[in-house]
Structure 1
Amino acid sequence: MPRGHSRALWFWVFVGPFAAGLALFTYVPLLWSVWLSFFDAHNTVSPTDFVGLDNYATVLGDPAFRSSLVTFAVFTAFIVPATYALSLGLALAVNRLRVAQAFFRSVFFLPTACSYVVAALVWKLSVFNGVRFGLANTVLGWFGADPVAWLATPDPPWYWLVVVTVRLWLQTGFYMVLFLAGLQRIPARLYEAAALDGARPGWQTFRHITFPALRATSVAVVLLLVINSFQAFDEFYNLLSDARGYPPYARPPLVHLYYLALGQGQDLGLGSAGAVVLALVIAVVTIVQARWAGLGRTEEA
C-alpha cells in the first residue's frame, strides 16, 4: 500500500469514530430540527402536515418567547462583566505568585469540573435555602435580619443573586486559565522597557501594557461568555423548579423551549422553530460582536 494511502487509512481509523459520532448525535439532530420547524409536529418527530413559516411567525409573536430573550439579556448583563472582571483579577493575582502557583490555579479551576446540576442543588438546598437553616439566612440571622425566600418571590428578584453566583463559581476558573495563558504570552521585555521609561508598576503598567496585550484573549472570553449565557438551562431549571413546576418568571430561552417542545403540548415543530431562531440570534450577536471587536483583522488594517 502506498505511503499516502496508509496515512489516510490511519487518519480515518482514529478520526472516523469521532466524526461518525459527531454527525450522528449533533449534525443529524440539528438538520432534523430545522426540518421539523416547517411542519405541524404535535407529539411526533415524523410529521406530514407542512405549515411553512407559520411556526416561526407564531414563536416570534409569542410574548413568552420574547420575555425569555429579555431574561437572557438581564442574565448576560449580570454574568458577563462579573465573570470577566473576576476571572481577570484572579489571573493577575495567580500570575504574580512565585510559589504554589500550580496549586492555586488548580483550586480555582476545580469547580469547572463540577456538574451544573449538583452545584445548583447545593446552592438551592444548602447555601440559599429559603428557611432559616440555609447558610445565607444563617449569616443574615447573625445581624438580626429576617430569613429571605431567595427563590420563591420575584419581587424583589433575589433569585438573580442565586443564579449569578452559582454560574460565577462554576465558570470563573475556566476563564481565569484563558487569561493566565494570555498573560504568560506577554513578552517580559515590554515591562522592562516600560520600567526604563519610568512607568510605575500597578495600574499604569496594567492600563498601558497588560490590558492591551490581552485584547485577543478578552475578545474570545467575552464571545464565549455571551454564547454560554444564551445556553443557560441547568442552573435556572434546577434552582427555580419544584414539585409545582417552573414559575412563570425568569425563564431563559432554553427553559421556555423545553416546556414548549416537551411540556404538555408536545409541539416539536414550534419548539424547533424557536431553537432555529435562537441559533440565528446567537450567530448574529456573535458576528456583530466579533466585527465590533475587530476579530481576525490584520494589524495593517
Structure 2
Amino acid sequence: MSARTASLLGPQRRNLWFWVFVGPFAIGLTLFTYVPLLWSVYLSFFDAHNTVNPTEFIGLDNYTAMLQDGAFLSSLGTFLLFTAFIVPATFGLSLSLALMVNRLRFAQAFFRSVFFLPTACSYVVASLIWKLSLFNGVRFGLANTVLDWFGLDQTAWLSTTSPPWYWLVIVTVRLWLQAGFYMILFLAGLQRISPQLYEAAAVDGARPGWQVFRHITFPQLRATSVAVVLLLVINAFQAFDEFYNLLSDARGYPPYARPPLVYLYYTALGRDQNLGLGSAGAVILALLIALATVVQARWFGLGRKED
C-alpha cells in the first residue's frame, strides 16, 4: 500500500469505514434533497409549463407573478391563522404533559411512551381517521354522535365555513400527532433542572405550584421553549398532509383553508402544471421560513450565553 493511499484511509482504515457507513446516506441526501432543491431554484427562472427541462429564460417574472397573486398571499394568511392556533396549543399541551409525567413516581416510562406513540402515526392515516370516524359530517361520526346525546344539531365539520368548524378538525389532528414529541423535549429540559434550585426555593418560602413554576421551572426551560417554538413555526409552514387529506375530495380542494404548500401543489401539478411558477413560490416560502427562523432566534436570543 502506498503512503498516499494509507493517508487517505487513515489509521486502522478509519476513514474507509467512515465513508462505508456515511457514504450511502450522503449520496442519497445529495440526490434526493440537494439536487431537487437546486433544480427547483433553476426552474423558477424559466417558463416551465409541463416540463422540467425548460429553455425560455424569463428572469424574475415568476417571482413577480407569485408575489402579485392574491391566492398565494391568501395562502400565507391561512398559514398565519394556522400558526396562531397550533403553536400556543401545542406548546401549552406538551408542556403540561411533560410536567405531569415528570411528577409521576411510577409508570413514568409507560405514560411517556403512550403520549409519544401518536408521533409514529402517519399524518395521512390520522387525517383519514379524523375525517371518516371522528368528525364525519353524517350522524355516524363520533363528534356528531356526542352532539346528538345533548340534543344539539349535527354539524358538517369540514364543509361549514360559518363558523369555520374545519379549523377544529385540522388543529386537533395536528395537536394529537405532535404534542408527544414536544413533550419529550420538555421532559429532557425538566430533567436537567438541578433539584437544589427547588430545595433553595423551599427554604426561601416559595410555595409549590404556580409560584415555583413561574420563578424557577419555566425560566430554566428557556432554551427548550425557544427551540420548541422555532420547530413549531417551521412545521406549521410545512403543513400539507392534514389539510389536503381532510379537505380535498373528488371535486378537488375547497377555496378556503388552503396553506402555501397546498396552493403550490395545485400550481405545479394541477391543470396548468406551471413548474416554474410553483418553484418560484417554493423558493419564496423557503426564504420566508429562513427569515422567520432568524428573526425568532434573534428575538429569543437563541445561542446567547445565559447569565
Q: Could you say which TM-score interval applies, normalised by the shorter chain?
A: over 0.9
**Bigger shift: 147-156 or 37-46?**
147-156
Partner of 1:271: 278
Partner of 2:74: 67
Give how far 1:143 is off.
Answer: 0.8
Give how far 1:4 is off.
Answer: 2.3
Q: Which amino acid aligns with 1:4?
A: G
CA distance, structure 1, for counterparts of residue 93 and residue 165 of structure 2? 21
Give how far 1:181 is off.
Answer: 0.3
Match of 1:39 among 13, 33, 46: 46
CA distance, structure 1, for counterparts of residue 10 and residue 177 of structure 2? 45
State the TM-score, normalizing by the size of structure 1: 0.98
1:242-281 equivalences in 2 (<5 Å): 242-281=249-288
CA distance, structure 2, for counterparts of residue 41 and residue 248 of structure 1? 25
Partner of 1:119: 126
What's the CA shift string for 1:210-256, capped at 9, x where partnerless? Answer: 00000000000000000000000000000000110100111000000
SS at match of 2:10: helix
CA distance, structure 2, for counterparts of residue 36 and residue 222 of structure 1? 32
Partner of 2:207: 200
Give how far 1:144 is off.
Answer: 0.6
**Bigger shift: 67-76 or 1-10?**
1-10
Give how far 1:56 is off.
Answer: 0.1
State the TM-score, normalizing by the size of structure 2: 0.96
Partner of 1:49: 56
Give how far 1:200 is off.
Answer: 1.1
Partner of 1:157: 164
Counting aligned pairs with the same residue, the percent is 80
Give how far 1:120 is off.
Answer: 0.3
Partner of 1:172: 179
Match of 2:10 among 4, 10, 15: 4
CA distance, structure 1, for counterparts of residue 306 and residue 239 of structure 2? 35
CA distance, structure 1, for counterparts of residue 285 and residue 173 of structure 2? 24
Whether 1:186 and 2:159 are equivalent positions in the alignment is: no
CA distance, structure 1, for counterparts of residue 277 and residue 52 of structure 2? 12
CA distance, structure 1, for counterparts of residue 266 and residue 203 of structure 2? 62
SS at match of 1:17: helix
Structure 1: 4+ residue segments shifted above 3 A? none
What is the aligned-residue RMSD (CA, Å)?
0.9
Partner of 1:99: 106
Q: Which amino acid aligns with 1:153?
A: T
May I ask how many residue pairs the two structures share in their alignment?
300
CA distance, structure 2, for counterparts of residue 57 and residue 132 of structure 1? 47
**Bigger shift: 151-160 or 168-177?**
151-160
What's the CA shift string for 1:99-156, capped at 9, x where partnerless? Answer: 0000000000000000000000000000000011100000000111111000012221
CA distance, structure 2, for counterparts of residue 198 and residue 17 of structure 1? 58
CA distance, structure 1, for counterparts of residue 258 and residue 155 of structure 2? 21
**Bigger shift: 145-154 or 275-284?**
145-154
Whether 1:224 and 2:215 are equivalent positions in the alignment is: no
